[in-house]
Amino acid sequence: MSGARASLRQLAALLERGEASAVELASDCLARISASDLNAFIDVQPELTLAQARAADTRRARGERGALLGVPLAHKDICVTRGWRSTAGSKMLERYVSPFDATVVERLAAAGAVCVGKTNCDEFAMGGSNEHSHFGPVRNPWDRAAIPGGSSGGSAAAVAAGLAPAATGTDTGGSIRQPAAMCGVTGLKPTYGRVSRHGMIAYASSLDQGGAIAVTAEDCATLLGAMAGFDARDSTSVERPPEDFARELGRSIEGLRIGVPREFFGEGLSADVRAAVEAALAQYRALGAVLTEISLPQTELAIPAYYVIAPAEASSNLSRFDGVRYGHRAERYEDLHDMYCRTRAEGFGAEVRRRVLVGTYVLSHGYYDAYYLQAQKLRRLIADDFRRVFETVDLVAGPVSPTVAWDIGSIVDDPVSNYLADIYTLPASLAGLPGMSVPAGFGRGGRPVGLQLIGRWFDEARLVNAAHCFQQVTDWHLRRPA
């Protein structure tokens, strides 16, 4: 029995009917991971995986039930996991094994999910192409010459290729939505603070947010239901009553007001992506949604604001990697200062060093007010744009990325072009809004295109239902790479 590109709901039904065991599903995933050439996984521990699967089967035999009990999934290697390596895609943590689980790992394990491995990612989640991993680039299963998107590219590629039915991801500036779009799978970034960051190796603390990558919107709602919730160990965790994020699934979207920002369809958007997104919007109109052109005038300021705020926070967060307590340490050095310098120069890749240097600069004396403070003011203006448009619309829709996935290595030495690819995902991240990427067709070279949906703060249930309704009348999310 093969679970390639099967949904979580389908696999749970197999387990419920006794047509498959958790051990069989996990073994199937492990076999496909072993045979894969995508470089989507950094660490796989079959003994640990099968032990979890056997425990899940035992729980089912005792009469326990649950949507995730016995279902396999993968974790982005930003989430620390006891027993597996937790590297953040970096040489700095190449051999690090965490003594504890991240909260999202802990909660999914409590729900009975079986971890099949840790997925490759851009180093410390810094990048939009998954080319910035110490362990090499991940390949897109739709075209192995292409990037999978980043930084959660390993998770997206694994789900697209059927190596795992679902995976966790983290989204700082689009790192769930962009790879989901480029790999033709569904990705959900919840409202900032909805999912605990405890045990997620930090990049930019005011932006990082855990989320889900899966085949369907329904699967994403199931995963979010297990992951979300207040955590006293995370000072940015929001205390809200428990929610069923699938509660609106199947509800008609007749009359749903969808805002389409004119700034998302200007210069820089490729013709193939535009065509696929406009066709998806037409489908929403056919379902009864009301589309309205809106304006988010601060959109073009999202890139400069983000690439001041995120590197500044990264500079602070990554100061802990000094070779003293854990992680890589240079073998040869003359004194303590030299050890710090050599360790960080050896342990961090080029993109991480670039962002740390930028962040240190904008936080330095004489530049904080000129750069960092101004970027925070721009961030507030961007959030105010969304607050204004959400007075008249229920969702915002547009492209995820200006282009389909580009070829591996084609712009790796051009960081500005890499950063510009985030233009449509950054505004929602800076505003802390929930967002989704929904498969919406294919563009140049048969590479996937995603439709981005952005909802109001803490309105994930409506967001998920809008994606679900689209997936009931289209089959883009069911297409499989050869």
pTM of the entire structure? 0.96
Catalytic annotation, pick one of 7, 21, 76, 98: 76
Question: What number is the average pLDDT over the span 359-365?
Answer: 94
Please state the domain extents for the chain. Answer: 8-255
**280-287 mean pLDDT:** 98
Tokens for 289? Answer: 């949604």
**377 in catalytic set:** no
Residue 418 has pLDDT above 90, yes or no: no
Q: Which residue has the tokens 């180093």?
A: 123
- Radius of gyration over every alpha carbon of the chain, rounded to an integer in angstroms: 21
Task: Report, as an integer, the average pLDDT of 289-295.
Answer: 98
Beta-bridge mates of residue 76: 119
Residue 147 has pLDDT above 60, yes or no: yes
β-partners of residue 97 are 85
What is the predicted pLDDT for the residue at 390? Answer: 98
pLDDT at 3 over 70: no
pLDDT for residue 2: 46
The mean per-residue pLDDT over the stretch 355-366 comes to 94
pLDDT of residue 91: 98
**Mean pLDDT for the stretch of residues 232-247:** 96
Question: Does position 36 have pLDDT exceeding 90, yes or no?
Answer: yes
Q: What is the pLDDT of residues 81-92, one digit of tens each?
A: 999 999 999 999
The pLDDT of residue 4:
61
Residue closest to 7 by CA, chosen among 212, 211, 242: 212
Distance CA 106, CA 83 (A): 13
> What is the model's pLDDT at position 366?
86
Helices (H), 258-335: 271-286, 302-317
Task: Establish whether 98 is a catalytic residue.
Answer: no
By 3-state DSSP, what share of the chain in percent is helix, strand and coil, each rounded to 5?
40, 15, 45
Averaged over 372-395, what is the pLDDT?
97
Band of the pLDDT at 416, cuts 50, 70, 90?
confident
151 assigned to active site: yes
Give the active site residue among 90, 98, 133, 151. 151
- What is the mean pLDDT of the segment spanning 191-203? 98
pLDDT single digits (tens) 427-455 = 999 999 999 999 999 999 999 999 999 99
Contact yes or no for 352/345 (Cβ under 8 A): no
User: How far is the C-alpha of 191 from the C-alpha of 210, rounded, in Å?
Assistant: 10
Active-site annotation holder among 86, 129, 155, 175: 175
How many Å separate Cα 82 from the centre of its chain? 21
Domain 8-255 top-level CATH class: alpha beta
